[in-house]
């Protein structure tokens, strides 16, 4: 049975009157409300539409984050608490997994816990919980490290003999259906990869073989580095057509190698893990000290997890850092405060996402550089929603090397928001992102540019001074700051979640009686 998630109740309540006032509002040129108050996507000449971002986050945003029963309670001792916490985690790791998919929660009572190294969770079904800001974990002493690491093992493995070609010569942005040469051996529920190859022609047309050399570290893009593997689940099969749980976030074109799908396994990736209600603090020696706690929380090789109500103070890199193999993670109501490090590259990425289908919402950052940011070849969809940044030292947005399909929705910053050709910054970042959607955001200034090929970046009501960005001569996406006060759809993400909720209720009318708190 599909469970409605905790966001749906408030979304349905807050937006229930939207269709009644829609006629007095202005629609965007990409999506609007029809006469019934439902979203209507407006395709371009190639059939590209804005992606549906509603199924990102833990459990594909279809279930509330669970409240897991406490298995063991730990009290502070005033000394190094790492061994006590780690021993409890290790003991819980060998307990059987319950019918709910969890082993249990470890509760850290109010007080101070000094941690000289890293607390590690390497098994599924474990929650580490505090009692809010009064449970303080201190990254004590020296050493650039994560305070809490949640990580599985292994890697994604293609199942031999399961590849088949996608028949469409052009697969547009936003579609959830693919026509295959054949569907033999596939079934609903299969985990698949949608594969888009990197090709020399694509890099040539994107001009990422022409990055101006700054020093010996500057690298031109290479085709093999841009083979892109998007994880998806088959939710329907009709003839030779399959339907995916999440949309295509970068068009696939025959002239650039087309696309394929294959089945896969991922032994060692863990799931059902949570970190919640903690204050994480790093010891440091001066504002530019870098030999101390680096990440408060780091996830990788994890599926279906969360970080909730966690505050980090004085870390050098991040409050929450999601690695390339972290997927369906929800980061909710977290704060990154007063980072301590040099203010230069590779530091102060307050909320960093390199994974796919991840959701950051209701977060706050101060004294960061790249506060809500993605790295290289980040495969969407991903969402940053209702987040704020103050006293920023750099920009928000895709940071380098082609992030795909990120929604920045109601993001407020006193710094910049950019999606641009970064040229030879770093080691040759080049085009930072494609099919990035900026919806009703606020910043001091912004440069949103469209790559030469394979997509664009979308702007609706960006309150910022438009500027040309680092490199001249790039196409700029237009934004009218005045649109925001007139928008039919003040939050694309919330309206998309609302649409998903309506569909769930239509399919499962008995769910109407569920009462969930936001």
Stretches in the chain below the pLDDT threshold 50? 1-23, 512-518
- pLDDT for 251 equals 98
From CA 422, how far away is CA 269, in angstroms rounded?
34
From CA 151, how far away is CA 126, in angstroms rounded?
12
Long-range CB contacts (< 8 A, 24+ apart) of 24-28? Answer: 25/486, 25/487, 25/488, 26/483, 26/486, 26/487, 26/488, 27/487, 27/488, 27/489, 28/460, 28/461, 28/483, 28/487, 28/488, 28/489
- pLDDT for 17 equals 38
Cβ atoms of 127 and 105 closer than 8 Å:
yes
- Residue 182 CA, distance from chain mean position: 32
Residues 293-335 pLDDT 10s: 999 999 999 999 999 999 999 999 999 999 999 999 999 999 9
Please report, for the chain, how many H helices and E strands are present, in that order. Answer: 5, 36
- pLDDT for 418 equals 97
* Largest Cα span, the chain: 65
Write down the residue that tokens 């102060």 correspond to: 348
Residues 182-214 pLDDT 10s: 999 999 999 999 999 999 999 999 999 999 999
Long-range CB contacts (< 8 A, 24+ apart) of 31-35? Answer: 31/489, 31/492, 32/488, 32/489, 33/488, 33/489
In order of their start, the domains of the chain are 6-55+494-513 (no CATH), 70-152+270-393 (2.160.20.10), 157-265 (2.40.30), 402-423+435-484 (no CATH)
The two three-digit tokens of residue 492, written as one number: 């694309």
Strands (DSSP E) along 270-375, which ranges? 270-282, 293-300, 302-313, 318-322, 326-332, 335-337, 351-353, 359-361, 364-366, 372-374
Write down the residue that tokens 């090789």 correspond to: 301
Q: Which residues pair with 233 in a beta bridge?
A: 191
SS3 at position 274: strand
SS3 at position 21: helix
To the question of pTM greater than 0.85 for the whole model, the response is yes
Closest CA to 385 of 419, 361, 366: 361
From CA 380, how far away is CA 58, in angstroms rounded?
14
Exposure on the CB side of residue 202, measured as CA atoms within 13 A: 25
Cβ atoms of 318 and 169 closer than 8 Å:
no
CB-based burial label for 122 (10 Å; 0-12, 13-18, 19+): middle
Closest CA to 196 of 160, 155, 168, 234: 168
- pLDDT for 85 equals 98
From CA 457, how far away is CA 420, in angstroms rounded?
9
């Amino acid at each position: 049975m599909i469970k409605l998630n905790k966001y749906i109740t408030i979304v349905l309540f807050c937006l229930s009157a939207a269709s009644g006032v829609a006629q007095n509002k202005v629609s965007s040129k990409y999506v609007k409300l029809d006469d019934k108050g439902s979203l209507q996507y407006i395709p371009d000449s190639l059939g590209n539409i804005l992606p549906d971002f509603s199924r990102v986050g833990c459990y594909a945003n279809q279930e509330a984050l669970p409240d897991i029963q406490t298995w063991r309670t730990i009290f502070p001792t005033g000394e190094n608490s790492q061994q006590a916490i780690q021993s409890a985690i290790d003991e819980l790791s060998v307990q059987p997994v319950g019918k709910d998919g969890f082993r249990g929660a470890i509760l850290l009572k109010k007080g101070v816990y000094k941690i000289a190294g890293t607390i590690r969770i390497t098994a599924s079904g474990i929650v580490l919980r505090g009692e809010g800001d009064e449970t303080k974990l201190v990254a004590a002493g020296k050493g650039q490290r994560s305070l809490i690491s949640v990580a599985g093992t292994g890697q994604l493995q293609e199942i031999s003999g399961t590849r088949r070609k996608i028949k469409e010569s052009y697969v547009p942005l936003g579609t959830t259906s693919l026509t295959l040469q054949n569907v033999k051996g596939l079934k609903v529920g299969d985990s698949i990869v949608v594969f888009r190859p990197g090709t020399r022609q694509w890099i040539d047309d994107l001009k990422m073989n022409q990055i101006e050399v700054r020093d010996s570290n500057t690298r031109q893009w290479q085709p093999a580095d841009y083979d892109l593997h998007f994880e998806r689940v088959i939710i329907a099969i009709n003839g030779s057509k399959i339907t995916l749980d999440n949309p295509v976030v970068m068009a696939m074109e025959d002239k650039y190698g087309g696309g394929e799908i294959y089945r896969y396994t991922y032994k060692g990736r863990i799931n059902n893990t949570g970190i919640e209600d903690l204050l994480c603090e790093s010891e440091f020696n001066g504002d530019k000290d870098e030999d101390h706690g680096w990440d408060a929380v780091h996830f990788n090789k994890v599926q279906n997890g969360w970080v909730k109500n966690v505050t980090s103070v004085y870390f050098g890199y991040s409050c929450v850092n999601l690695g390339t193999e972290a997927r369906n993670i929800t980061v909710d109501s977290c704060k990154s405060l007063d980072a301590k490090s040099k203010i230069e590259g590779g530091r102060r990425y307050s909320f960093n996402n390199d994974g796919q289908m991840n959701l950051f919402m209701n977060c706050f950052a101060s004294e960061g550089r790249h506060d809500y940011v993605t790295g290289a070849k980040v495969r969407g969809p991903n969402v940053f929603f209702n987040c704020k940044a103050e006293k920023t030292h750099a920009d928000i947005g895709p940071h380098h090397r082609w992030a795909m399909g990120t929604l920045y929705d109601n993001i407020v910053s006193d710094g910049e928001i950019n999606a641009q050709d970064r040229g030879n910054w770093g080691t040759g970042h080049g085009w930072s992102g494609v099919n990035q959607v900026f919806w009703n955001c606020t910043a001091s200034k912004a440069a949103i540019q469209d790559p030469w090929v394979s997509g664009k970046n979308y702007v609706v009501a960006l309150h910022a001074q438009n500027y040309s960005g680092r490199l001249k001569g790039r196409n700029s996406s237009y934004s009218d700051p005045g649109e925001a006060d007139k928008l039919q759809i003040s939050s694309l993400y919330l309206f998309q979640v609302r649409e998903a909720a309506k569909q769930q209720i239509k399919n499962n009318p008995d769910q109407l009686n569920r009462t969930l708190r936001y």
